[in-house]
Amino acid sequence: MRKSLQVTRPRSPGSHSDGSDQVRDQSIVNPTELNHIADSFEKKGHSWFITSQIKTDLSIQVQDITFKVHKYPLVAKCSYIGRLELQPSISSSGYDLKLENFPGGPATFKIILKFCYGLPVDLNCNNIAALRCASEFLEMTEELEDGNLITKTEAFLTFVVLSSWKDTIIVLKSCETLSPWAENLQIARRCCDSIAWKASREISTCTGDAVYEEGWWFDGVATLCIDHFVRVITATRAKGTKPEIIGKCIMHYAERWLPDMEIELEGLRGYGHGKNELQLSIYSGKEEGGIELSKEQKTIIESLVSILPPQQEAVSCKFLFKMLKMAMAYSATPALISELEKRVGMMLEDASVNDLLIPSYKNGNQVKLVNSPEQQTMHDIDVVQRIVEYFFMHEQQQQKPGKCNISKLLDNYLAEIAKDPNLSITKFQVLAELFPENDCDDGLYRAIDIYLKSHRSLSEHDRRRLCKIMNCEKLSLDACMHAAQNDRLPLRTIIQVLFSEQVKMRAVMQEKELAPSGNISEQEGNQSSTVTEIKTLKAELEIVKKKMAELQSDYSDLQREYEKQNKKPKNASGWSFRWRKIKNSLHDRVDGDEIGEGQQRPNCFRRGLSIS
């Protein structure tokens, strides 16, 4: 540990031979006389003067402040100054000395001077760390005087500060500006260990819910810099503190130091109202706009994630998602982001749709402008896909079946991202087919309908390809009624919806016929309801027939134009045969193109399809 101390004025040639040093030495009086006449300091401009009847002979500069003092009191208690070969001042009859990198700065040096002059000195938690470092800097040891400042500050730290929770926090905070002295003197380490010991002792004395109410120490440690906070948490964990308590403290710290933690996504707005851009609003307590990159916040994020307890119950799923969004926004390391993805994947069933809406970032900047196939999607679909895969891998390892609420969550997520015009049909399809099979596909149908509404330029082939991920047999009656009148759906899907519903109605009627006689009024009511539903279905079938007739007419016109230009025989392509097949038998399944020539669906978690 090397002090940076230098003499600013070089020795003048021949100055040692003119007797000036001897004259100056004669002006130094003994401490008893000096203590009697040195009552206080007064400041003039950027200089401090000792109020004394004896002329000062030493000028010491600390940062931009100059102290006019006497040489003897400092030499008597500071070995470092006593060992220096002080250089005579050119501007005055005395010596000049400049202290570089002095711990605590001018305020601390002023207290040192008071101690050297024998004036009253107040040791407290606000100045003790700086005084301990400064006394070490000046080598104020017992070899010069019993009860020198090193001994006094050490005793105050040990017996006064470390016995008090609040004082220890204050001293540890003051160490943030005293590096490397506070580290080398073990002041920071002793404070961290003391805080951890006190916190773990208090927690161990509590039982039940009282443990979670003992958050009095959260506010204290939340004021520390991230390095000291990490050391306190690490020491507290080592003493056996429960992971829930550690996690709660980490979340409290994050709320204080990461103002952007409260990121709320309003969703995608503006599209379909004459605008060519989607707007994604981020609220972070600042003006709406991009997130300013900050090395300090990036360090905080990475440090907090590194000390998260491995136990799943330590922190909430929402907190992990917020940390993931922040980590991506501040370009944290890929390994850290991957770790967060795995952790939220294991807790996915506790997530909300808003948690899954993770903005896309490119080079640390949030993607805003969209409406072009080359543009990136507003939401990071790949991250969610990996999270879903981690969830199912975890469920398989735990031998648990996929949860129903996961299907609902992911269906709602699909409905949100379906509004993005840059979301490709392939990404939508791959993500949808990762989901577990569900008893009802109403949520998936809603997401598909939103996608079709937001992507009106899709070809017939792409619309049919999109609808193949939905099982029409798993739609509710309300969904079927909506689908039967939905112009955005391909005709083939509408026919299949009607066919599936007709099969269900026949099954219901057969059950009614086979049911034993019972409550006559109840059976009549059910039969009336069934008849009404059948009439409704028939009406829908008539609508479909009319649409088919219109399509047949359009097709015939196109066929005639084609024959005129190519002089080919009528119906050579075989299309008319397929139209007749649709028209003559609504009960038969219609052959159609598959998802794409040579394409295959992912092997994991495929939905059952009723379209052959």
* pLDDT score of 316 more than 70: yes
Where does the pLDDT of residue 49 fall: very low under 50, low under 70, confident under 90, or very high at 90 and above? confident
Q: Are 302 and 336 in contact (CB under 8 A)?
A: yes
- Phi and psi at residue 6, to the nearest 5°: -140, 155
**pTM over the 0.75 mark:** no
Give the model's pLDDT for residue 553: 75
Domain that holds residue 27: 5-161
- Determine the pLDDT at residue 91: 62
| Distance from C-alpha of 464 to C-alpha of 454, rounded to nearest angstrom | 16
Confidence of residue 586 (pLDDT cuts 50, 70, 90): very low
In a domain, 99, yes or no: yes
Residue 309 has pLDDT above 90, yes or no: yes
Question: What CATH number has the domain bearing residue 86?
Answer: 3.30.710.10
Task: Indicate whether 277 pLDDT > 50.
Answer: no
Question: Which whole number is the average pLDDT over 410-435?
Answer: 91
> Which residue, 151, 138, 199, is CA-closest to 4?
138
Q: What is the DSSP letter of 585?
A: -
Give me the phi and psi of 58, to 5 degrees please.
-140, 130
Quick check: is 182 in a domain?
Answer: no
With respect to residue 117, please indicate whether it lies within any of the assigned structural domains: yes
Query: Which has more pLDDT, 9 or 379?
Result: 379
Q: Is the peptide bond before 180 cis (omega within 30 degrees of 0)?
A: yes
Domain assignment present for 318: no
The larger pLDDT score, comparing residue 76 to residue 293, is at 76
Say if 141 falls within a structural domain.
Answer: yes
Nearest Cα to Cα of residue 484 among 503, 506, 501, 465: 501
Outline where DSSP puts E strands in 461-552.
none
What is the average pLDDT score of the chain?
A: 76
Report the greatest alpha carbon distance in the chain: 133
Residues 279 and 344 sit within 8 Å (Cβ to Cβ): no
Q: What is the pLDDT of residue 506?
A: 74
Nearest CA-CA partner of 68 in 95, 90, 87, 91: 95
607: left (phi over 0), alpha (psi -120 to 50) or beta: beta
| More confident of the two residues 89 and 487 | 487
Has residue 494 been placed in a domain?
A: no
Residue that wins the pLDDT comparison between 54 and 248: 248
Q: Are strands 65-69 and 47-50 parallel, antiparallel or unpaired?
A: parallel
Per-residue model confidence as pLDDT tens digits over 541-566: 677 667 777 777 776 777 777 777 76
Rounded mean pLDDT, 50-75:
86
More confident of the two residues 72 and 368: 72
pLDDT for res 214: 58
pLDDT at 384: 95
Question: What SS3 state is found at 62?
Answer: strand
Q: Is the pLDDT of residue 127 over 90?
A: yes
Which among 263, 247, 463, 292 has a CA at the least distance from the CA of 379? Answer: 263
Binned at pLDDT 50, 70 and 90, residue 575 comes out as very low
51 occurs within a structural domain: yes
Q: Which two tokens stand for residue 597?
A: 């020539």
Is the residue at 452 inside a domain? Answer: no
pLDDT of 412 reads 93
Distance CA 435, CA 415 (A): 14
The total number of structural domains that make up the chain: 1
